[in-house]
Amino acid sequence: MKNNSPFHRAASPREIPRREFLWRSGGGLGGLALAAMLGQDNALADELRMSGKPHHPAKAKRVVQFFMAGAASHIDLFDHKPELIKRHGQPSDFGEPVEAFQNGLGPWLKPVWDFKPYGQCGKMLSAAVAPLGAVADDVAFIHNMVGKSGVHSAATLLQATGFQLPGFPGAGCWVSYGLGSMNDNLPTFVVLPDHRGFGSNGVKNWDSAFIPSQHSGTIIYPGSDTPIADLFPHKSGSYLTTQGEVEAQQLMAELNHEHAASRAGDQRLDARIRSYELAAKMQLTAPEALSLKAEPEHALRLYGLERGPQTWPKEINAEEESFYFAQKCLAARRLLERGVRFVQVWSGNDNGFPRRNWDSHEDVQRDHGPLAMGMARGASAFIQDLKQRGLLEDTIILWTTEFGRMPSSQGGKGRDHNPYVFTNWLCGGGIKGGITHGESDQWGYKPLDRTKPTQVYDIHATLLHQLGIDHTQLTYRHNGIDRRLTDVHGQVIKAILS
């Protein structure tokens, strides 16, 4: 039994992963099998029970991932580079030939905003993200992140799924698969996309690929009429009534039970009956979970949401960005409180024109300005809110993006892609605050120590570690390989753990 868990190590040929085994075996395992089919169980807990081999105690239960689509500039937001300010306007010289996506290797371009120190730790942050100064002492910055590709799609996939090509489960899917749900009326893994639409690769960044589909990210649009697809009947179902829905549930349950009774031993039939009960529960819970109306005035003010939606100018602007990002942050907090395990919050749409994301080839100030302010206000409020509620202790927050941007200018005011170095930051869930781990070089072009970069595998390994999972042990066999979120890489970054 023990080797059939999703945590098997170097499984031998004839073993079936535990969930698949439970799915197939039907009878004899009762509620355990049923729960596994619905993704409701706690696989790690079961594993501990069955094998007596704990990975290690978890420091965190929940994850929130902020994802900046289009590639946010580390240099203009978090990674202070005095040398760049000094050399502003001088021809850029990287000391080696550089391959840039659009060959944007103009003169050195200083950060668009001024930096100043924040918190006890004195972390230098840009004016564009000033609101994050309030939580600087809670955050661990990593400035030596290195990617593998300067192409948006591949880079986004790498940060979201650990692989550069589509077809791999998102990080949240792995967490859902490994740890199961903490609720029975909401999804385990929720995605809050940018209000304008998806980033590169669309749903491939969070769908479950070869892992069963109940571990996919569920898309939720807070504040919209249909926040979850198909939660309530489509308008073509005008013939339905509230009372009729209750009767329909009853009738289906009766007929289904009757059908299952003559087919003893097939747990799927019971699981499906149960799934309709859960659906009805979700219909009751989700609207309440996503309604911001219940939030007290002071909470709304913390997030800057007290005025509600406004009529915004057509051009990208900080007020509108703040509203939408904060709305997602507040919804995320409410979902976490109700037992959602993994929430992914996106800022920025695909790589279109006019810019609707962080891909500031032409003008960093124009796009990064409003996006960064919106993100910083929402994220700062979110972190403060979690802290006040005692949720920050066991909620790990990761801020990430596709890659960084070049210290040289492109067309005077923009920056080209920089997959050679960028910034991530983490906080909560047992992460040490007020520290910086891993530096970039004087330009923010590559890691200061090029032999010891940090990679997404390390970030993911650390996330899983804080959740109590050894990243090398959480596997799923697909087309001949025991796949992991961290591929064959990954080191837990001990230096940022408290």
Partner 1 sequence: MRLRLRSLRRMALAASLALASHPLPAAVTFEHDIRPIFEAKCAKCHGADKQKSGYRLDVKSIALTGGDEHAPNIVPGKSAESPLIKFVTSQEDDVKMPPKDERLSPAEIGALKAWIDEGAVWPETSSVSVRDPLDWWSLTPLSNPAPPLNAPNPIDAFIGAKLAEKGLKPSAPADPRTLIRRLYFDLIGLPPTPEDVLAFENECRKGSSFLIRDAALETLVDRLLASPRYGERWARHWLDLVHYGDTHGYDKDKQRPNAWPYRDYVIRALNDNKPYARFVQEQIAGDALFPNTADGIEALGFIAAGPWDYIGHAEVSETKTDGKIARHLDRDDMAANTMGTFCSITVHCAQCHNHKFDPISQEDYYSLQAVFAALDRTDRKYYRDPDINARFQDLQLRQRDAEVAIAAIDDPLKVKAGEKYLTLSRSIDGASKAAANNQPNASPDYGYHSAITMQQDASKWVQVDLGRRVEIGTVTLLPCFDDFNKIGAGFGFPLRFKIEASDDPEFKTGVTQFWRRHDETFMADFKNPGLKPFSTSGAKDDGIAGRYVRVTATRLAERKGDFILALAELQVFDLAGKNVALGMPVSALDSIEAPPRWRKTNLTDGLAPAAPSADEKSELINQRDALLLSLADENVKSKRTALLSEAESIGVELKKLPKPNIVYAGGIHTGSGSFVGTGAKGGKPRPIFLLSRGQVTQPLKEVGPGALSALSFEPARFTLPPDHSEAQRRATLANWITAEQNPLAWRSIVNRVWQYHFGRGLVESSNDFGHNGAMPSHPELLDWMARDFRDGGGSLKRLHKLILMSTTYRQASASNPAAEKMDANNALLWRQNRRKLDAEAVRDSVLAVSGKLDLTMGGAGWQDFVIEHPEHSPHYQYDLANPEDSKTWRRSIYRFIVRSQTQPWMTSLDCADPSIRVDKRNESLSALQALALLNNGFILTQSRHFAERVQSEASDLSKQIIRAHTLALGHEPSDVDLKKLLAFAKSNGLPSLCRVLLNLNEFTFAD
Q: What are the structure tokens assigned to 18, written together?
A: 């535990």
| Nearer Cβ to partner 1 (26/430) | 26
Q: Which of 30, 122, 309, 354 binds partner 1 (CB under 8 A)?
A: 354
As measured in angstroms, the least distance from the Cβ of 174 to partner 1 is: 15
Position among 93, 114, 254, 288 found at the interface with partner 1 (CB under 8 A): 254
Reported in sequence order, the residue ranges of 119-187 that DSSP labels E, i.e. its strands, are: 123-126, 139-145
Binding mask 355-394 for partner 1 (x = CB under 8 A): ------xx---x----------------------------
Kindly identify the residues of this chain, within the stretch 64-93, that bind partner 1 according to CB under 8 A. 91
Residue 123 C-beta: closest distance to partner 1, Å: 30
Q: Which residues contact 213 (CB under 8 A, 6 or more apart)?
A: 207
Nearer to partner 1, 394 or 458 (CB): 458
- Nearest alpha carbon to residue 339 among 302, 286, 399: 286
Say if residue 278 is exposed, middle or buried (CB neighbours under 10 Å; 0-12, 13-18, 19+): middle
Q: Please, are residues 84 and 415 in contact by the beta-carbon 8 Å criterion? A: no
Q: Does 247 bind partner 1 (CB under 8 A)?
A: yes
- Asked if 268 is part of the footprint of partner 1 (rule: CB under 8 A), the reply reads yes
**495 lies in the binding site for partner 1 (CB under 8 A):** no
Of 32, 50, 278, 497, the one binding partner 1 by CB under 8 A: 278
Report 401-430 residues binding partner 1 (CB under 8 A): 409-414
* Residue 25 binds to partner 1 (criterion: CB under 8 A): yes
Question: What's phi and psi for 354, nearest 5 deg?
Answer: -60, 160
Encoded one letter per residue, x for contact with partner 1 by CB under 8 A and - for no contact, window 198-237 reads x-xxxxx--x-xxxxxx-x-x-------x-xxxxxxxxxx
**Please, which of residues 284-303 interact with partner 1 by CB under 8 A?**
none
Q: How far is the CB of 285 from partner 1 (least distance, A)?
A: 10
Give the C-alpha separation, 425 to 131, whole Å.
Answer: 15
Site for partner 1 in 451-470 (CB under 8 A): 451
List Cα–Cα distances, 305 to 268, 284, 310, 318, 324, in angstroms.
44, 25, 10, 13, 9
The helix-helix angle for 18-25 and 30-37 (nearest 10°) equals: 120
Helix then strand then coil, % of the chain, to nearest 5: 40, 15, 50
| Ranges within 125-184 binding partner 1 (CB under 8 A) | 148-154, 156, 164-167
Q: How far apart are CA 334 and CA 263, in angstroms?
A: 41
Least distance in angstroms from the C-beta of 324 to partner 1: 17
State in angstroms the smallest separation of the CB of 269 from partner 1: 5
| Listed ranges 79-87, 136-144, 253-261, 378-386: which one lies at the site for partner 1 (CB under 8 A) | 253-261
| Best CA proximity match to 45, nearest among 7, 78, 15, 102 | 7
Provide the token pair at 97. 């030939």
- What is the 8-class DSSP label of residue 27? T
CB 442 within 8 A of CB 137: no
Rounded to an integer, what distance in angstroms lies between the CA atom of residue 447 and that of residue 150?
16
Of 220 and 332, the one with the shorter C-beta distance to partner 1 is: 220
Number of residues that bind partner 1 (CB under 8 A): 116
Cα torsion through 94, 200, 470, 42, rounded to 10: 160
Q: Does 252 bind partner 1 (CB under 8 A)?
A: yes
| 31 near partner 1, judged by CB under 8 A | no
Q: Binding to partner 1 by residue 251, rule CB under 8 A? A: yes
Nearer to partner 1, 119 or 197 (CB): 197
- Two structure tokens written together for 482: 């025991």
Determine, following the binding rule CB under 8 A, whether residue 50 of this chain makes contact with partner 1. no
Residue span binding partner 1 (CB under 8 A) among the ranges 44-52, 273-281, 325-333, 439-447: 273-281
Name the E strands within 201-300: 218-219
